[in-house]
């Protein structure tokens, strides 16, 4: 159960470095472990390798976009169980539905304050790992 005792590992996928930086700073400050990816392919590689607790996925990505990346993650048995939070500047309804269809577990429209993202991460991981919150220091 050592794994479960570790802080939540978040894979943060965003092509805009400043946004990655804000969330990395704040989530790390808040005691979470954060790994970054700046495109879809990188996100897939790190997800398969690191098996994070949650993936925060920007949808507009160069190369392999967030929708397709999510679909592949959800198709793969290794990553199927990992919650994916879509975090995007796209505010239209079609985007939200497309994201949920692709397999995203949650859809958040930017701007999203760091503390709100933290709340959502804790909620979604807590649901997946019920005892996780109790063992957090």
Partner 1 sequence: MPSTRSAATRGGTGKPGDGGAVRLELLESLLVAETATQCAQRALGWLERRMGVRWAICLAAHGEGGPRLLPLASVGVAAQRMAGYAVELDLAGHPLTQALLAASPITITPNGDRTACTPLGRRVVQAIALAPPRRRDLPVGLIVAAPPTPALARQARWLGRVLGPRLAALIATARLQESERHLQRERGRLARIINAVTDPILLTDGDGRIVIANARAEGLLASDDDQSEGRRRAVALNNMLFSAALARHAMEGTEAPRHEVPLVDPADGSDLLFELLSTTTTDAREGTGIVSILRNVTDLQRATAELQEQYRKLRQTEAAARAERDRLDLVIDSVADPILVTDPGGNTVMMNTPAEHLFTAAESSSPEVQRVVQANDAHFSSFVSNLFFEGGTLRRSGRINLADPATGAALPMEAICGKIVSEGGEVTALVTILHDRTEELERARLYEELKRASAELELKVGQATAELVRQNELLRRSHIALEQASALKSQFLANMSHEFRTPLNAILGYTSMLLKGVSGELTDHQHRNLERIDSNSKHLLSIINDILDITRIEAGKMPLTVTDFPIPELVREVLSEVEPLVARSTLTVTTQIDEALPPLRSDRQKVKQIVINLLTNALKFTPEGWVTVTVSADAATDRVAVAVADSGIGISPRDQDVIFEDFRQADDSPTRRYTGAGLGLAICRRLAGMLGGDLTVRSALGEGATFTLVLPRRPPGDP
> 23 has which bridge partners?
none
The CA distance from 65 to 88, in Å, is 12
Among 3, 18, 130, 134, binds partner 1 (CB under 8 A): 18
Helix (H) or strand (E) holding 14: none
The CA distance from 42 to 102, in Å, is 18
101 binding partner 1? (CB under 8 A): no
> 108 has which bridge partners?
87
112 binding partner 1? (CB under 8 A): yes
Among 1, 3, 77, 94, binds partner 1 (CB under 8 A): 94
The CA distance from 56 to 37, in Å, is 10
Tell me whether residue 45 or residue 115 sits nearer to partner 1 (CB atom).
115
Listed ranges 36-44, 76-84, 99-107, 108-116: which one lies at the site for partner 1 (CB under 8 A):
108-116
Tell me whether residue 15 or residue 105 sits nearer to partner 1 (CB atom).
15
B/e letters for 97-133, b = 16+ CB within 10 Å, e = fewer, are ebbeebbbbbbbeeebebeebbebbbebbeeeeeebe
Tell me whether residue 89 or residue 126 sits nearer to partner 1 (CB atom).
89
100 binding partner 1? (CB under 8 A): no
Among 1, 3, 77, 92, binds partner 1 (CB under 8 A): 92
The interface with partner 1 within residues 46-65 (CB under 8 A) comprises: 60
């Amino acid at each position: 159960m050592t794994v479960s005792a570790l802080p939540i590992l978040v894979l943060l996928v965003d092509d805009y470095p400043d946004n990655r930086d804000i969330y990395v700073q704040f989530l790390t400050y808040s005691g979470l472990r954060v790994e970054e990816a700046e495109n879809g392919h990188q996100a897939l590689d790190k997800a398969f390798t690191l098996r994070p607790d949650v993936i925060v996925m920007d949808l507009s990505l160069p190369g392999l976009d967030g929708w397709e990346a999510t679909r592949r993650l959800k198709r793969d048995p290794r990553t199927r169980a990992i919650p994916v939070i879509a975090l995007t500047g796209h505010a239209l309804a079609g985007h939200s539905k497309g994201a949920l269809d692709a397999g995203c577990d949650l859809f958040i429209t930017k701007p999203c304050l760091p503390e709100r993202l933290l709340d959502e991460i804790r909620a979604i991981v807590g649901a997946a790992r019920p005892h996780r919150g109790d063992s957090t220091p």
